[in-house]
Amino acid sequence: MLRAGWVAVVAAAWVVGAASADESAGKQQQTAAPARYTFSWPLEAGTPAPRGGTTKGAPVTLDLEPSQAWKELRADGLSPQERDRRAILAMAGTYRVTFDFLEVVPFTPLEKPTSPYQSWGTEKVYVDSDDGKNISLVHILEMRIVQKDGAISEPMVTKHWRQDWQYQPTHVVEYRGRDRWQRRKLSAAESKGAWVQSVYQVDESPRYASVGRWEHSASFSSWLSAETWRPLPRREWSVRDDYQVLVGNNRHTIAPTGWIQEENNLKTVLTATREVDSSHPYIAREYGVARYERIRDADFAQADSYFDKTQQFWDQVRDEWSQIFLQQGEVTLKGPVDKLGLFHPLFEQAETIVEQGAAASAQSATVIRNALKDMGALP
């Protein structure tokens, strides 16, 4: 069931329930509610429950053996660039993903702690392109829900996000607050030996980008970004409006059976001119972790079909954004594309291509340009 537009909006709000990973690994799962959540405030009574939904995922089987990509990453005699490249490629595959966020330090008095955020998904990460110095990974969700009667729902498929990696980049497109992105030239010192990670939203519009370097050990490989500005994600703008940007670091760590993305963010208040408000700059520090646990024997046939049929279209959208930044240098959108629903025409075109095939692709260029005009990216 390709309900892409709807799923893209709500997938991030589905909370991990009594997920079946422990059962799949042959362990007895606890049925009693835990006294504390994985991410929670200490032991006082009334610890807030996580916000989100209550859905449960269909059973999955965790792959507990080191992946082939991990073994190739650990090979002897690789150049630094090639080892970095293999670390990035090791993020491809099929995963059960869980997301946890908590305000670990509030900077204003609170009547009660802010509820932690927890969500989940089953996701396949595809290698869209790889020429050694430029790598693109596309994330597509294919999720099955345990329904009230115990039956498993039909799969729900949606494009989730894209991450592009470039070795020794000359420029980076950075988020500058209040729906503005700006292309910045990098110095030789910033670029040497570094990779820029550029993250795109469900519709290929820019989200954030930052430069960092990979480090490798026998236990893990890890990339740490420089300080990065990010727009508010749906999990935040849907519940609050007292700050305008997340400012922090992003770490990707590759392990034998999956990978982890960590965020350490300051919830930052901006003035109308996009400067950090010196009188009240921060409201809280947030820590977040996304765990990508590799799964096996999983059915991602519909995600595969969606990726194959829409790959050219979404690449076309991303390339149009690249040309805009090459020509204009910066973009200020009318507002958050997810909050305003500005991505709908692009998702509708992708679904039309899925249903009608190549015949629908003839309209893609017009649909893309009209959508980007509506967003404010094009005059």
Q: DSSP states of 299-317 as a string?
A: --HHHHHHHHHHHHHHHHH
H or E stretch at 166: strand 156-167
Min mean pLDDT across 145-154, 269-278, 318-327 is at 145-154
Residues in the chain: 379
Query: Could you tell me which residue, 353 or 5, shows the higher pLDDT?
Result: 353
Residue 172, pLDDT above cutoff 90: yes
The overall average pLDDT reported for the chain is 88
CB neighbourhood size of 78 (10 A): 15
Which pLDDT band holds residue 32 (cuts at 50, 70, 90)? very low
Residue 23, pLDDT above cutoff 50: no
Q: What is the mean pLDDT of residues 60-75?
A: 96
Residue 344, pLDDT above cutoff 90: yes
- Look at residues 123, 85, 136, 179 and name the one whose alpha carbon lies nearest to residue 291: 123
For residue 110, what pLDDT is reported? 80
Q: What percent of the chain has pLDDT over 90?
A: 75
Q: What is the mean pLDDT of residues 107-128?
A: 90
For residue 43, what pLDDT is reported? 54
C-alpha separations of 257 from 62, 106, 278 in Å: 9, 34, 44
For residue 29, what pLDDT is reported? 35
- Look at residues 201, 239, 210 and name the one whose alpha carbon lies nearest to residue 114: 239
For residue 51, what pLDDT is reported? 82
Q: Count structural domains, the chain.
A: 1
For residue 359, what pLDDT is reported? 85
Residue 18, pLDDT above cutoff 90: no
∠ CA 209-271-247 to the nearest 5 degrees? 30
pTM of the model: 0.89
For residue 111, what pLDDT is reported? 78
CB neighbourhood size of 44 (10 A): 8
C-alpha separations of 58 from 29, 37, 61, 70, 210 in Å: 15, 21, 10, 27, 35
Query: Could you tell me which residue, 322 or 21, shows the higher pLDDT?
Result: 322
Q: What is the mean pLDDT of residues 225-244?
A: 94
Q: What is the mean pLDDT of residues 260-280?
A: 96
Write out the residue range of the structural domain in which residue 56 sits: 4-375
DSSP string for residues in 232-271? PPHHHHTT--S--EEEEEEEEEEETTEEEEEEEEEEE-B-
For residue 338, what pLDDT is reported? 84
User: Is beta strand 156-167 parallel, antiparallel or unpaired with respect to 171-177?
Assistant: unpaired
For residue 357, what pLDDT is reported? 87
Task: Give the pLDDT confidence of 211-223 residue by residue, as tens digits.
Answer: 999 999 999 999 9
Q: What is the mean pLDDT of residues 325-352?
A: 92
In angstroms, the first-to-last Cα distance of the chain is 36
CB 40 within 8 A of CB 118: no
Which pLDDT band holds residue 126 (cuts at 50, 70, 90)? very high
Q: What is the mean pLDDT of residues 180-189?
A: 97
For residue 37, what pLDDT is reported? 60
